[in-house]
Amino acid sequence: MDLPLLQDFIWQHREDDPRQLALSAKKYPNIPVLTAAAQIQALQKIRLKIPGWYRPGMEFPLAISLEQASSERTARFKAGLCSGKKMVDLTGGLGVDSFFFSQQFESMTYVEQNAVLLAAARHNFAQLDASNVQFEHCTAEDFLEKTTEDFDLIYLDPARRDERKGKVFQLADCSPNVLIIKDMLLERAPRVLLKTAPLLDLRQAALQLEQVSKIWVIASEGDCREVLYLLEREAPPMDEIPILAVSLESRLIRFDKPYRSEHEPQTFTFSWAEEQQAVANFSTPQNFLYEPNPAILKSGAFRSFARRYGLAKLHANTHLYTSTEFQPGLPARSFIIEQVCKYDRKAVQAYVPGGKANIACRNFPDSPDQVRRKLKLSDGGDVYLFAATDAENKKVVMVCRKA
């Protein structure tokens, strides 16, 4: 097959429906249409997830690798945390993280045990003019055993699937097992940056890793996407580890270099010691309601958030906050509370014109779908309903609009 012809076909049909194209194979006898359709499907995902890679000539051989790859937004954030002469990515994968790290270091080594992924990364990096990258076809463990080089930074994102392709998230179940190779990592670099699944308990991971000097909890597009642990040869006591809850809700406004975004990330920094010492005031709903961003909620900065911004918490287990006066610029969604109702259809519907609302539940016995059915509301509109337990242990529904 003429590779330039195939790549040209893929780019020319990049807006087509891949499923419909796959059914039209007879129209293109000189093209492996199933291969082209898979690449077009990948390109359509790349356009949103990694817009800087949305260009002709790129190769994406394994769908699972694209699913597991970092987004451009999170990869660029990670790369901005470090710089230096030499670094190695021990779990290269599709190469998104490696590519952006290569822009911060004089020399980058990409390590990958899957030959298909390595070949694709080598090809794509050439397309992207990343000329300072060396490629190693081996496992992370084998690379550490054979290398005699020292690095400024080692990065790894262990695979979170077992032999049966089931999802895992505990450190000991991932590959490579960082708990086994941790000492080797810190022998070869003074700093090791580890990416883990958001499901992993932060404190448990820090206890297992022992030499954690900083933690980043990263949210983007309304969800917690990943957690990063920086390991160093000397680290602070557990309760003094800085934890940075970062929300990357900024929008990329150009796809070519230099990359930049419309807003700086919002960062809330605290420690477990601060959280333990913080005292939160509790209150029934006042005039305004605040829902911290997903990174703050995942990091567990519940009392710290209330204390830092002078807010009252609705309940010890309801991670919503309230104030009489509006507090602008918080790392949170902010709402005007228009009415507080009991959990009753007639009581709520009187304040929901059109019968449409966006529903969220916090420390509440029913799910959003159950609340929607009970209140006989449809989804959408400009009204936001928060069903929650308040400071008096009552089940209430707050009718809100965005502040």
pLDDT at position 164:
55
Nearest to 134 by CA among 146, 145, 144, 121: 121
Instruction: Round the average pLDDT of the chain to a whole number and report it.
Output: 93
Right CATH for 66-270 from 3.40.50.620, 3.40.50.150, 3.30.420.40, 3.20.10.10 = 3.40.50.150
Per-residue confidence band for 25, with pLDDT thresholds at 50, 70 and 90: confident
**CB 368, CB 394: distance < 8 Å:** no
What is the spatial distance between Cα 152 and Cα 131, in angstroms, rounded to a whole number?
19
Cα–chain center distance at 15: 27
Residue 256: pLDDT over 60: no
CA-to-CA dists, residue 356 to 18, 82, 174, 350, 351, angstroms: 35, 46, 44, 12, 11
Count of alpha carbons within 13 Å of 396, Cβ hemisphere only?
20
How far from each other are the two terminal CA atoms of the chain, in whole angstroms? 58
Q: How far apart are CA 374 and CA 17, in angstroms?
A: 39
Residue in this structure with the two tokens 């451009």, named with its chain if needed? 72
Residue 206: count of CB within 10 angstroms of its CB: 20
Query: In this structure, which long-range contacts are made by residues 22-30, counting pairs with CB atoms below 8 Å and at least 24 apart in sequence?
Result: 30/5
Residue 396: beta bridge partners?
Answer: 342, 388
Q: Residue 370, class by beta-carbon neighbours within 10 Å (0-12 exposed, 13-18 middle, 19+ buried)?
A: middle
Spatial distance between the Cα atoms of 389 and 140, rounded to a whole number of angstroms: 48
Q: What is the C-alpha separation between 89 and 108, in angstroms, rounded? A: 8
Q: What is the structure's pLDDT at 166? A: 63
Report pLDDT for 254.
Answer: 43
**Secondary structure letter of residue 70 according to DSSP:** P
Q: 267: helix, coil or strand?
A: strand
pTM metric for this prediction: 0.90
The first and second tokens of residue 272, run together, are 């477990």
pLDDT in tens, 297-311: 999 999 999 999 999
| Residue carrying structure tokens 């807010």 | 311
Ramachandran quadrant class, 395 (left: phi over 0; alpha: psi -120 to 50; beta: rest):
beta
% of the chain beyond a pLDDT of 70 = 94
Phi and psi at 211, nearest 5°, equal: -105, 45
Please list, in sequence order, all residues whose beta carbon lies within 8 angstroms of the beta carbon of residue 209, skipping any fewer than 6 positions away: 171, 178, 179, 182, 194, 229, 231
> How crowded is residue 110: how many other Cβ atoms within 10 Å of its Cβ?
27
pLDDT digits 0-9 by tens, 209-238: 999 999 999 999 889 999 999 999 999 999
Summarised one tens digit per residue, pLDDT across range 354-402 is 899 999 999 999 999 999 999 999 999 999 999 999 999 999 999 999 9
126-151 pLDDT per residue, tens: 999 999 999 999 999 999 999 999 99
Whether omega before 294 lies within 30 degrees of 0, making that bond cis, reads no
Contact 397, 342 (CB under 8 A): yes
Confidence band, pLDDT 50/70/90 cuts, at residue 337: very high
DSSP 69: S
